[in-house]
Amino acid sequence: MTLMPNDLEISQAVEALFSATGPLDRIARWNALVPTDADLSAQFSQGQKQVTYVPTYEFSELIDFVHCFGSLLESHGQTEPNQIRVMLMVYCHVMESEFMLTLIWNQLRLLNGQQPSWRFTHITPRGKTVVCEYPREKFSEINTLAQRVGQPIGDVISCIWDRHLRNAFSHSRYWLGSAHVLLSVGLSPISRNGPFASGKSRSYSFNEVRDRYRSARSMLFAVASEHSKACKAYNVLALGGIRCQS
């Protein structure tokens, strides 16, 4: 079982990241906080971009989603298996939040001397820039940059994220035992690719699921709080239609 960071360690890592970018160039940091879409058809002067509401709408919905199911977990009469099911769902939902991950990535890019970007990409070994479509690609890029600039957020995220648990839950390849989530990878013949291999299956205690849920939730709220504070440092709010200089 991976030792999860506690809430204080998570909040300190997130705060350290956003604090580190605070003294940097104001325009560059603004562009690392406010989503822009270079592909929109509006014609702007050179060096200007169109702000897009889409990522922030998604993020707002995610926060409401987490609060909604958090209230459900606190309600009376919930059985332990039902609590675990809700926690698994919320954990996966939070850890795939594109806005949260891109905010973190953009702060790291600034610290690494790179320009912010709202197209999450990585460079292949052959030097080609490609979009990071999957969470594992985004987490890998975040961890690489975090290690490069000495920010603890990379280690924190690496501890919280578990692709095996996410994949099993998202593809309904698990079931609940009396005290564990049991992954059925390799056990069911339906989508088995290769010979039977019971060694591929694994389990997670209910307590580990609780810990991953708590950690993901803590990171979400810490990023939301630091993003809000960072935006307040500017006189103009991040409203749709604002043109941001590059």
pLDDT tens digits, residue range 27-83?
Answer: 999 999 999 887 775 555 555 678 888 999 999 999 999 999 999 998 888 899 999
What are the tokens at 42? Answer: 């509006």
Specify the pLDDT at position 200.
61
Domain membership of residue 246 (yes or no) is no
Domain membership of residue 227 (yes or no) is yes
Specify the pLDDT at position 245.
38
CA–CA gap between residue 8 and residue 14 (Å, rounded): 10
Find the range with the poorest average confidence among 54-58, 179-183, 195-199, 202-206. 195-199
Specify the pLDDT at position 197.
63
Listed as own residue / partner, the contacts of 35-43 with beta carbons closer than 8 Å and 24 or more positions apart are 35/99, 35/102, 35/118, 36/118, 36/244, 37/118, 38/118, 38/119
Domain membership of residue 155 (yes or no) is yes
pLDDT at 208 over 50: yes
Which amino acid does the sequence have at 171? Answer: H
pLDDT at 195 over 80: no
What are the tokens at 87? Answer: 């926690």
- What integer is the mean pLDDT of 179-201? 76
CA–CA gap between residue 77 and residue 61 (Å, rounded): 26
Domain membership of residue 244 (yes or no) is no
- What integer is the mean pLDDT of 166-186? 92
What's the pTM? Answer: 0.88
Return the SS3 of 134: coil
Task: Give the CA dihedral 55, 58, 59, 62, nearest 10 degrees.
Answer: -160
pLDDT at 242 over 50: no
Range of the domain at 55: 7-188+196-233
pLDDT at 180 over 70: yes
Domain membership of residue 1 (yes or no) is no
pLDDT at 88 over 50: yes
Name the more confident of 219 and 190.
Answer: 219
Domain membership of residue 213 (yes or no) is yes
CA distances (Å), 169 to each of 88, 137, 153, in order? 7, 19, 25
Q: How many domains does the chain have?
A: 1
pLDDT at 241 over 70: no
Specify the pLDDT at position 76.
83
Domain membership of residue 243 (yes or no) is no
- What integer is the mean pLDDT of 187-211? 79
Closest CA to 156 of 170, 142, 169, 172: 142
Per-chain mean pLDDT for the chain: 88
Alpha helices for the chain (secondary structure H)? 7-21, 26-33, 54-74, 80-95, 98-111, 135-149, 153-160, 163-170, 206-232
Specify the pLDDT at position 48.
66
Domain membership of residue 134 (yes or no) is yes
Residue partners of 7: CB distance under 8 A and separation at least 6? 214, 215, 218
- Give residue for tokens 């010979």: 195
